Structure 1
Amino acid sequence: MHISILAVGRLKEKYLVDALQEYLKRLRAYARVEIKEVADQGYNEGISAALEEEVKKKEALRLEKHIKQDTLLVALDREGEELTSGELADWLSSLALRGKSHVTFLIGGSLGLTREIQSRADRRLSFSRLTFPHQLMRVLLLEQIYRSFKIIKGEPYHK
């Protein structure tokens, strides 16, 4: 399976980069995983809702340049569907059985994703109704993908 993660913004914090690299290393045994970062759009705090939409549109255009035609697109969205780790594992396993070998996860910037790019997604997933920093979501997503493959293979993993 080939998994792409398209994310807005660059990881700068060393502890997050280290965690990201650790999960990428662990995942090599199960899937080909790549992360593509696109530049975030700068803005000032307290901007209007209309300007927030403009920021998200510019970021979405950058993401869309990297979305491959044949991929199954998954948008991470606080209002998306919540799954357990076991349900995520079952879903990933079912994709392989249905011949879906490429999955792309989208992680928006600090303002999120546009409604247009969310509606383009084949699935919208939420990790929680809580808000997480978009940089941290990369690590959380990789950990859950890793956990999913451990579940799929019946291998032990801490709970």
Structure 2
Amino acid sequence: MNSKVVVVGKLKEKYLKQGIAEYAKRLNKFCKFKIIEVPDERAPENLSPAQMEQVKQVEGDRILAKIKEKEYVFALAIKGKELSSEEFAAEFEKLTTYGHSDLTFVIGGSLGLSSAVLKRADAQLSFGRFTMPHQLMRLVLTEQIYRAFMINAGSPYHK
């Protein structure tokens, strides 16, 4: 199984890099896991709605260039479906049972995801209505992917 996270922007914070690296190492026993960074689009502070859409479109094109047709794509979006860890694990199990061995998760930039990325997504996930830095979301998502594998393996990690 392959699992990847496509994200906008570079991760600078050492503590987040360390946490993600730890979960990525643990994930290697379950899947081939990788994180792909695409450049964020530089933009001034006070953007018009049209300029915001343009930034999302440019970042969206960069994201879509990293996704293959056969991949099952989860877009992280505030309006997405909220799942418990157990429901997320069950979704993983169901997808792999039905032949989806390439799972891709997408985290947009500070303005969110373009409509083209949301349209390409097979599912939209939400981690709640809290606003989180997208860099922190990488760590949270990576841990939840690991947790899903551990739940499906019957491990006590989840308890």
TM-score after normalising by structure 1:
0.97
Does residue 84 of structure 2 align to residue 84 of structure 1?
yes
**Partner AA of 1:88 in structure 2:** F
Does residue 72 of structure 2 align to residue 72 of structure 1?
yes
Does residue 150 of structure 2 align to residue 150 of structure 1?
yes
Structure 1 residues 158 and 73, CA gap change in structure 2 (3 angstroms): closer
Count of aligned pairs: 159
Which runs of 5 or more residues in structure 1 are unaligned?
none
For residues 32-71 of structure 1, the aligned pairs below 5 Å read: 32-71=32-71
CA distance in structure 1 between the partners assigned to 2:150 and 2:61 by the alignment: 34
2:63 and 2:117 in contact (8 A); partners too: no
Provide the secondary structure at the position in 1 that maps to 2:37: strand
Cα-Cα RMSD = 0.9
Provide the secondary structure at the position in 2 that maps to 1:157: helix
CA distance in structure 1 between the partners assigned to 2:87 and 2:118 by the alignment: 21
Deviations 1:119-141 (A, max 9, x none): 22100000111111111111110
Provide the secondary structure at the position in 2 that maps to 1:142: helix
Which runs of 5 or more residues in structure 2 are unaligned?
none
For residues 14-33 of structure 1, the aligned pairs below 5 Å read: 14-33=14-33
